[in-house]
Amino acid sequence: MSKTKIAKIGAFTGLSIVVANMIGTGAFTSLGFQTEELHNTFSILSLWILGGVLALSGAFSYAEVGTVIRKSGGEYAFLSHIYHPFVGYLSGWISLTVGFAAPVALSAIAFMEYLPLEVAYPRITGILLIAGITLVHSYNLKSSSTFQNISTSFKILLILALIITGMVAAGGTDNAIDLRPSYLSEVTSAAFAVSLIYVSYSYSGWNAAAYISEEFRNPRRSLPIALIGGTLLVTTLYTLLQYVFLKHIPPAELTGSINLGYIAVDRMLGQGFAGFFGSAISLLLISGISAMVWVGPRVTASIAGEHALWRYFRNNAKGMPVKALWLQFAISALLLVTGTFEQIMIYCGILLTISTLLVVTGVFILRRRNPAGTGYKSPLFPLFQVIFIAISLWMIAFALVHNPYETLIGLINLAVGGATYFAGKLPITGYLADKK
């Protein structure tokens, strides 16, 4: 009985998790590379708006699927129900092994680089940072929720302060605002297409709330608010932030630069405030690490609840995946020590894109199975699903052509995951129950 009386979270915390997962260093670094070949202000801003539309298309679909399949675990739970447990297991295997551990490790390294202090052993310090955040999330859902809400609120306030200051402050005459190049020729160029791939990575994390569906008090109401509201908020912040950078940074300083926040604040308020902003960026990353530390182990716990091989990592009596939390910490620490996570991120991104594509395609399958479903309904169906599927297929094809080595590594990892599925003689009773 006590297991059914665990704490639950509301829509605000879910939205915090989505925003925290989405906003990382990409919004502060990638514009400098985009302006190497794109110069029209409207085409650059269109890039970020289109990235938001792609993420929003996925969010609409996940909100619909998540209110029908009300189970934590994200793609693992969804694909197991829609297709077959083996498909869901492979998706969960990617999430379990590197899908969250690698981004956590990468964010910890970024935290150390932005920190305005000389640290003798940055990787060890990064491991300690992840351990501290893991400890917070090991206690109970209330402590996780409080820590996440506070850290995410700080992140949003910091970006809003930068945007408002940039909008109010007068831009220099040598800024990067430029409407002279042809908009049409730029948005139809190969450079625009390649930039869209990297912008879409900056929007990754829009589906974070779907991994903790069972932890919402009212999933049918809260999940769509978290997914769609969080994505809309981040799209707005990202687009305005890029405009501020274009307004205040000269082209010569913008192109190829990765520390755009520092340069923009230096131009607007002076070097002292720029140094403060650099420090704040490091703190901003804590929110993202926290969200991934919270969400990732829920996939492992979901797998452990249905597959004997992973049973040790099930939730405890309080509904907390404590053992799964520390498993993810161990993988992140290993990646930090070995320094292999950046290449892992490439092939992991390809495989996770395939997983999200299958979930969005699953909207068509669920509607055919249950035309009068009572869950959330994606608007303008199937417009957003077609947009997401088309762009995702294009990005997957592009990645397969340009990153064949990473693709091979990903296939090997999938083969290992498939071997663990069959080696454990895992039951499919959960799937059969869903099909009845």
347-375 tens-digit pLDDT: 777 788 889 999 999 999 999 998 777 78
Residues 6+ apart with CB under 8 A from 67: 219, 220, 223, 224, 375, 376
pLDDT reported for residue 7: 67
Mean pLDDT rounded to a whole number for the chain: 86
pLDDT reported for residue 3: 45
pLDDT reported for residue 325: 96
User: For the ranges 45-54, 130-139, 165-174, 236-245, which has the lowest average pLDDT?
Assistant: 165-174
Does residue 433 carry a pLDDT above 90? no
3-class SS of residue 216 = strand
> Can you tell me the distance from the alpha carbon of 326 to that of 307, in angstroms, rounded to the nearest whole number?
19
* C-alpha angle 147-107-51 in degrees, rounded to nearest 5: 95
Q: Which superfamily does CATH assign the domain made up of 8-435 to?
A: Amino acid/polyamine transporter I (1.20.1740.10)
3-class SS of residue 146 = helix
Between residues 177 and 120, the one the model is more confident about: 177
Domain boundaries, the chain: 8-435
Does residue 14 carry a pLDDT above 70? yes
Per-residue confidence at 426, pLDDT binned at 50, 70, 90? Answer: very low
Tally the residues of the chain: 436
pLDDT reported for residue 49: 95
What are the tens digits of pLDDT across the range 342-351? Answer: 667 667 777 8
Quick one: tokens of 116? 């305005």
pLDDT reported for residue 340: 66
Per-residue confidence at 378, pLDDT binned at 50, 70, 90? Answer: very high
The share of the chain scoring above pLDDT 90, in percent, equals 44
Instruction: Please answer whether residues 76 and 84 qualify as being in contact, where contact means their C-beta atoms are separated by less than 8 angstroms.
Output: no
pLDDT reported for residue 436: 41
Give how far Cα 217 sits from Cα of 235, 289, 322, 342, 384, Å: 27, 24, 21, 37, 28
pTM of the complete model: 0.86
Does residue 86 carry a pLDDT above 80? yes
The share of the chain scoring above pLDDT 70, in percent, equals 93
Does residue 408 carry a pLDDT above 70? yes
Per-residue confidence at 53, pLDDT binned at 50, 70, 90? Answer: very high
Residue 170 is classified by DSSP as P
Most confident of 46-60, 106-120, 253-267: 46-60
Residue type at 43 in one-letter notation: S
Across the range 292-313, mean pLDDT stands at: 91
Q: Which residue's entry shows tokens 């990575």?
A: 201
Does residue 425 carry a pLDDT above 70? no
> Can you tell me the distance from the alpha carbon of 321 to that of 393, in angstroms, rounded to the nearest whole number?
34
Instruction: Please answer whether residues 172 and 267 qualify as being in contact, where contact means their C-beta atoms are separated by less than 8 angstroms.
Output: yes
pLDDT reported for residue 4: 47
Across the range 75-83, mean pLDDT stands at: 94
